[in-house]
């Protein structure tokens, strides 16, 4: 998540970060911030993608898989050794 957003802070199960000038907080599975609902949904989608990428990277490292990057950051292939 730190690759995608600036100044990510974690205190226990609470994450806070800035998206531009807006501060977003994720607590107990809920995202709150000083943005409208539509923008907050976009940010949540970006957080989910970032979390998925980190999960795949950690799994690949753990199991010795190779990750090949695709055309953009949303496309990749995981190859078993």
CA 51 to chain centre: 4
User: What is the three-class DSSP state of 13?
Assistant: coil
Question: What is the per-residue pLDDT for 32?
Answer: 92
pLDDT in tens, the chain (81 residues): 666 676 888 898 898 988 778 889 999 989 999 899 999 999 899 888 888 888 988 999 999 999 988 888 778 888 887
Q: What is the pTM of this model?
A: 0.73
* 3-state DSSP helix/strand/coil % of the chain, to nearest 5: 35, 35, 30
Domain ranges of the chain: 6-79
CA 3 to chain centre: 8
């Amino acid at each position: 998540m730190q690759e995608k957003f600036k100044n990510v802070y974690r205190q226990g199960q609470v994450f806070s970060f800035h998206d531009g000038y807006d501060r977003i907080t994720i607590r107990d599975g809920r995202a709150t911030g000083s943005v409208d609902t539509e923008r907050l949904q976009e940010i949540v989608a970006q957080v989910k993608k970032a979390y998925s990428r980190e999960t795949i990277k950690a799994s690949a490292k753990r199991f010795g898989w190779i990750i090949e990057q695709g055309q953009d950051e949303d496309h990749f292939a995981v190859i078993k050794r």
